[in-house]
Structure 1
Amino acid sequence: MDELKCQPRLFSDPQALADAVIERVGKRIVLGLPLGLGKANEFANALFERACNDRSISLTIFTALTLEAPPASSELAKRFLNPLRDQFFGDYPRLAYARTLSQGKPLPGNIRVQEFFLQPGKWLGNAQVQQNYVSLNYTYALQFLLNARVNVIGQLLAPPANYEAGELPAQVSLSSNPDITADLLDLRRDGKLECLMVGEINRHLPFMHGAAERSTDEFDLLLDTGPVYFSLFKPPQQPVSLMDHAIGLHVARLIPDGGTLQIGIGSIGDAIASGLILRQQHNDIFRECVRNLLGNRKTLPGYEEPFRDGLYGLSEMLVEGFLALINASIVKREVDGYLMHAGFFMGSPHFYQMLEQMDPAIRRRIAMMPVSFVNELYGDEPQKRRARVKARFVNSAIMATLNGAVVSDGLDNGQVISGVGGQHNFVAQAHALADARSIITLRATRTHKGKVHSNICWSYANITIPRHMRDIVVTEYGAADLRGKCDAEVIAALLNIADSRFQMALLQQAKRAKKIPADYEIPPLYRHNTPAHLLTLLGPIRARGYLNHFPIGSDFTPTEQRLAAALKILNKQQGSRKALWRLFKKSWGQTPDEAVRACLKRMDLDAPGSLKLKLYRRLLIGALCEHY
């Protein structure tokens, strides 16, 4: 125990640090790297290089969400993204193992990389990654590491504000990733784990509190390559469509005042935060949106009044939406002196700007915690139950079956898109708490190569959340309450929130399976679930300045915001001549206004020389004219 209190050795060279690690633990290395942003990239790359050059070293890396900058998938995407890469990804060092895997090359036989959560869609079709994926609940990753006899952890650390490069600070912060490391440090402190703790200091990482705040002597070796530090990985926000906003509005009316909230990353998470802020700050507009969406439909009892007591944030991920909710005094209900507890974070430049500009006293009331605290009830369960009242745990999915099962992580051919993460944890927690609900959000349809598919299907060969854990499912067309319902009631409720272009086919499948009465008909009120009808309901409100594409802020210029939304539309039509022809025709005869001309100039399409570039110009104008 005395050794743990010794000051760590400080290195400025990653290669020297890698050599020191091998000297300390030997040539069998099981390296744990945190999910997402918290990886000690320069140290990990140095260790990877050593193992590549010395095949007597056995290196196993266990991690999740290896971050890779997205490739530009088309000429238009290149024109949009390339000028922005430095702003969002800077000199973030690419992990050497990811580069090798991306190139389709085999890793050396003495190196193995296992992940329990993948960057969504990035590794589809990659044999090595798919074969080495480990399917786990987020909270099970700790035990997996212990069973694998992890002997090195490589963690990115935030130093205090007054830190000078080359010094040894008294305290550091796990910042973005106390998710598993905080528990590992506690186990080591208690003598239950022998593991070398390696920290890599980066001044760009925000110093966060809660369980993330640690004494420096809890680490054995530190790397400080300052005074210049690599950029953080800061992916841009995604534009929020009208469909996303409709989902966000439906969810926002399901959140009770004085309750507990979890939301996730992405455009639907932003839409939910936007809906809650609209409910608080422009309540008349919020109620108008809800009236338009619901009409005379029967739906779940809701909450439309502004927040008085506010919400307590309890979220696996601290996302930009939560910072916006704190700034709007919606997340203000305290638990143990904190406004929210979260397990990890990663965000756009705007996210870090919001953190930096936040009142330090408010920022201290955001506690970064291990997922064993956030995602589960065990461990001081009575206190957690008292704190987590009226909880609404909101998670996103890609599909749902008509019997209420949810698909979030993979395809029916076994290919993994992302991972389970903490979704199952929170669904189980919602069923375990007396007044909690699990809310699964998904878009009613998806468009691939110009063809529209229903995300509500009869059955699917890959399931993330089984049917017996069904609760609330929300699409842009409404909320279906499935908890405690029989199968026929579940099917009827999900048909009511499906896209009307697919309702009859789905109903016939249910009838053939004898799961719904042969004479059942979908009520007329629910037969107009189409994007065009949704546009008539919410389009005029968007035209008045609400429900915009980036409702909680953006790093894009106004012109880039328009382009991001248009390119998202255009990307869905790639591969379909019919869909592209529709966009092309939409642009015909259009005289670009000032805003569209600015978009064309930004894309260097204001004076196209070749026929190909003229076609790109027309397609872009057509996409800019879309309103979804």
Structure 2
Amino acid sequence: MSEHNKPTYYTDVTKVVDHIIEAFDKKIAFGMPIALGKSYQIANEIYRRAKSDPTIELTIITALSLEKPTWSNDLERRMLQPLRERVWKGIPDFDYMLDLRKGALPPNVKMKEFYYKAGSVKNDPMAQQNHYSSNYTHVGRDIMNEDCNVLYCHAVAKKEIDGKVCYSDSCNADLSLDIKKFIPEAKAAGKKFLHVGHVNNSLPFMYGDAVVGEDDYDIILDNPEYETPLFSVPKAPVTTADHMIGLHVSSLVQDGGSLQIGIGSLGDAIASALIMRNTANADYKKVLEDLGINEKYGTLVDHIGGRDTFDEGLYGTTEMLVDAFIELYKGGVIKRKVYGNIEIQRLVNEGVLTETLTRDSVKALLSQESFQPILKKGDFEGLQHYGVFKEGLTWDDYAIVDGDTRYSTDLRDGANLDAILDNCIGESLTNGVIAHGGFFIGPNQFYDTLRNMSDDERKLFEMTGVAVLNQLYGDEKLRTLQRRKARFVNAGMIVSVVGNIASDALENGTVISGVGGQYNFVSMAHAIDDARLIMMIRAVKETANGPKSNVVFNYGYTTVPRHLKDIVVTEYGIADLRGKVDHEVVAALINVADSRFQDELLEKAKKAKKLPPDYEIPAEYRNNYPEVIAKRLQPFRAMGKKYFDVFPFGCEFTKEELVLGRSLREFKSKMDKQKIKTVMGLAKQMLTAVPAEAQPYLKRMQLDHPGDFKEKVTRKLVAFALKESGQI
């Protein structure tokens, strides 16, 4: 809020909030990062104060406030309560979210969010009315544009480095850099600002721009009693459709390139396919051949992708560092190092400079114009940071000093340059990074992996601001060099046959999630010459009224406009749309639609004169059915190598929970679609004995020894669901 050298430290959250309320005269814009980096204690205490004092004006500005699963009936409780106690043990609730769900936020409290868990607020009027759609790179600006005093509060990790106390933004470096950039302007405009850090050493200490000193904060809350476990997001099952999308995407990724993917089953499907390509290449090539991917898309794969192993590897550049990147790292795919120096990165890209330094490669580096004719102090220190010059050397008055020996930094002198090359260069490049991320969230095993890494290994995964990750502006040359052959892979909900994509809302304006960084990656894919945008669309979705196509003729909402079209991938194939005219775009998208809807799309396209009257869908694209792709994958699933597994990287659920979850979902679906038939089958089950095979599942549901009549009926229902789904 004012110039300071040291923050005010507190061990009591009530004192923190006292400080905030007094400083801001009861008018507070309370900014928190997306997802994991929120402080439960500060958020709940400041909300409690506002709830009890209507003179406090509180605006909560954030995204993705994490919520533990809840239940609406006894059957759901039996399924979810043990999970809550196991997976989310010790994690508090956000009181403002509990009240939001009940429609009980007080009138002096407002919430503004730029991103929601997909589908979580479809029927919430307050959330729908207070969503602001903003590119991720503009969120920091928008928070600072609030017309009242601003508080930015987030959880941090703490560590002593070289005798100095340091803090890491850890899971949320995404907005911190952006917000700090706007602080001087805000203060000049007369706004008050507080930067508050809450120490939670459950967070892994991440490096890069995430690391700051204590003078970065106005307030630090540090009390081990307030440390909480990290919120786990369990793995979602990867469906056959997801695996097919991931397989197609994996063939479009080029060795030596860069990769961005997101969280969820589609990200896991891509990672699984890329690992298969790298570690079981013969099987990978066979699946591409057997599924017809080579025949249909071989030319495109040869041009922008590949089928061989990742010898050079990929570099991860992503706003969200998901656990799939860790799996790719373990699988030898994510390993290409990038460096924060333009000249080093350029020569690495050209193959002149490798990780192992030689006299000739360093000579080539030092011959670059930016280092000529005399090596300056900043350049020397930058090169030393990346290992070009040995540790222990110093720069003094245009000389490299090694003990009592001095080497002039005048590189025009051949003999002097030879002396530097003979005596001063290091053995290998250092401080390379294999992945940059802005924020992270994932399952518990992901957090454990990060925490258990050595500092040197964790430094390979640097955290930085979203304005760095999601755009080129500010350091275009370096970022373009680092992100060579980038594949920005994003998901959409619906694609129209002319190439418009809806990703974050329905055509009536109902917000499903948020645009986040998607548009940023779309723009970058078109700005970098050798980059490509890959939009993933599940071709069909199941509804209570039956299957529905996600490839449509038109749609009343657009996230990615058609003039920024590139590649669209569904479970049925790849549509390369870049540079194509309308009839080619329409034909390519109908080719990757589900065949149950192709004729209707074809008819509408012809009627709109987007296709010639005599156009016919090629025969090879006329067999796009779920059962067909499932059958084609089955031989590979039967190999016993966990290919195309529902959980390729494991999960936090027990075997019984997985079976119960699948069975109960299928039961609910049948009730929606065939209610009378399902009820009759359930009534019949009531008259038969419960099979012995159901006992492990009934025990998990606390129904192995039913007490009252209600429990006995519920027991029969569960047994029926298991039987109907073929599990017993």
1:399 aligns with 2:494: yes
Counterparts of 2:83 and 2:486 in 1: how far apart (Å)? 39
* Equivalent residue in structure 1 for 2:317, among 308, 314, 317: 314
Q: What code does the residue aligned with 1:322 have?
A: F
What is the correspondence of 1:199-214 to structure 2 with a 5 Å cutoff? Answer: 199-214=197-212
Aligned to 2:386: none
Q: What code does the residue aligned with 1:44 have?
A: A
Shift of 1:188: 4.2
Shift of 1:296: 6.8
- Classify 1:622/1:184 alpha carbon distance in 2 versus 1 (closer, same or farther; 3 Å): same
Q: What code does the residue aligned with 2:152 have?
A: I
What is the correspondence of 1:251-270 to structure 2 with a 5 Å cutoff? Answer: 251-270=249-268
Counterparts of 2:714 and 2:68 in 1: how far apart (Å)? 27
Deviates more, 1:225-234 or 1:418-427: 225-234
Aligned to 1:100: 99
Counterparts of 1:137 and 1:14 in 2: how far apart (Å)? 33
* Equivalent residue in structure 1 for 2:606, among 511, 535, 544: 511
What is the correspondence of 1:205-354 to structure 2 with a 5 Å cutoff? Answer: 205-227=203-225, 229-294=227-292, 297-299=295-297, 300-301=300-301, 302-336=305-339, 337-354=432-449
Q: What code does the residue aligned with 2:199 have?
A: I
- Classify 1:579/1:547 alpha carbon distance in 2 versus 1 (closer, same or farther; 3 Å): farther
Q: What code does the residue aligned with 1:338 have?
A: V
What is the correspondence of 1:52-451 to structure 2 with a 5 Å cutoff? Answer: 52-72=51-71, 77-105=76-104, 107-149=105-147, 150-160=149-159, 170-188=165-183, 195-227=193-225, 229-294=227-292, 297-299=295-297, 300-301=300-301, 302-336=305-339, 337-449=432-544, 451=546
Q: What code does the residue aligned with 2:169 have?
A: L
Counterparts of 1:215 and 1:447 in 2: how far apart (Å)? 51
Shift of 1:93: 2.2
Counterparts of 1:518 and 1:269 in 2: how far apart (Å)? 39
- The answer to whether the Cα contact below 8 Å between 1:583 and 1:623 also exists between their aligned partners in 2 is no
- Deviation string, structure 1 residues 3-44 (Cα, Å, up to 9, x no partner): 3312x2222222221111112232221111111111122112
Shift of 1:183: 2.7
Counterparts of 2:292 and 2:704 in 1: how far apart (Å)? 43
Q: Which runs of 5+ in 2 are unaligned?
A: 340-431
Q: What code does the residue aligned with 1:476 have?
A: E
- Classify 1:580/1:151 alpha carbon distance in 2 versus 1 (closer, same or farther; 3 Å): farther
- Classify 1:544/1:597 alpha carbon distance in 2 versus 1 (closer, same or farther; 3 Å): farther
- Classify 1:181/1:228 alpha carbon distance in 2 versus 1 (closer, same or farther; 3 Å): closer
Counterparts of 2:206 and 2:266 in 1: how far apart (Å)? 26
- Deviation string, structure 1 residues 404-449 (Cα, Å, up to 9, x no partner): 1111111122110100000110011001110111001121111122
- Classify 1:202/1:573 alpha carbon distance in 2 versus 1 (closer, same or farther; 3 Å): farther
* Equivalent residue in structure 1 for 2:654, among 544, 554, 557: 557
Aligned to 2:547: 452
Counterparts of 2:241 and 2:689 in 1: how far apart (Å)? 28
Aligned to 1:616: 718
- The answer to whether the Cα contact below 8 Å between 2:31 and 2:151 also exists between their aligned partners in 1 is yes
- Classify 1:398/1:606 alpha carbon distance in 2 versus 1 (closer, same or farther; 3 Å): farther
Aligned to 2:587: 492
- Classify 1:572/1:360 alpha carbon distance in 2 versus 1 (closer, same or farther; 3 Å): farther
Aligned to 2:14: 15
Counterparts of 1:143 and 1:64 in 2: how far apart (Å)? 15
Counterparts of 1:222 and 1:13 in 2: how far apart (Å)? 10
- Classify 1:574/1:354 alpha carbon distance in 2 versus 1 (closer, same or farther; 3 Å): farther
What secondary structure sits across from 1:10 in the alignment?
Answer: strand
* Equivalent residue in structure 2 for 1:527, among 622, 626, 651: 622
- Deviation string, structure 1 residues 239-268 (Cα, Å, up to 9, x no partner): 111111111111111100000000000001
Aligned residue-pair number: 617
- The answer to whether the Cα contact below 8 Å between 1:200 and 1:224 also exists between their aligned partners in 2 is yes
Shift of 1:184: 2.4
Q: What code does the residue aligned with 1:78 have?
A: R
Shift of 1:454: 0.8
Aligned to 1:165: none
- Classify 1:311/1:489 alpha carbon distance in 2 versus 1 (closer, same or farther; 3 Å): same
Quote the sequence identity (%): 41
Counterparts of 2:622 and 2:289 in 1: how far apart (Å)? 17
Greater Rg over alpha carbons, structure? 2
Q: What code does the residue aligned with 2:616 have?
A: E
Aligned to 2:29: 30
Aligned to 2:44: 45
Q: What code does the residue aligned with 2:207 have?
A: H
Counterparts of 1:536 and 1:378 in 2: how far apart (Å)? 47
Deviates more, 1:423-432 or 1:609-618: 609-618
Counterparts of 1:624 and 1:273 in 2: how far apart (Å)? 30
- Classify 1:89/1:195 alpha carbon distance in 2 versus 1 (closer, same or farther; 3 Å): same
- The answer to whether the Cα contact below 8 Å between 1:38 and 1:155 also exists between their aligned partners in 2 is yes
Counterparts of 2:662 and 2:134 in 1: how far apart (Å)? 34
Shift of 1:399: 1.2
Counterparts of 1:611 and 1:2 in 2: how far apart (Å)? 65
Counterparts of 1:485 and 1:405 in 2: how far apart (Å)? 14
- Alpha-carbon RMSD across the aligned residues, in angstroms, is 2.8
Shift of 1:94: 1.8
Counterparts of 2:23 and 2:106 in 1: how far apart (Å)? 23
Counterparts of 2:84 and 2:242 in 1: how far apart (Å)? 26
Counterparts of 1:579 and 1:625 in 2: how far apart (Å)? 22
- The answer to whether the Cα contact below 8 Å between 1:249 and 1:289 also exists between their aligned partners in 2 is no
What secondary structure sits across from 2:291 in the alignment?
Answer: helix
Deviates more, 1:67-76 or 1:241-250: 67-76
Deviates more, 1:254-263 or 1:301-310: 301-310
Shift of 1:319: 0.5
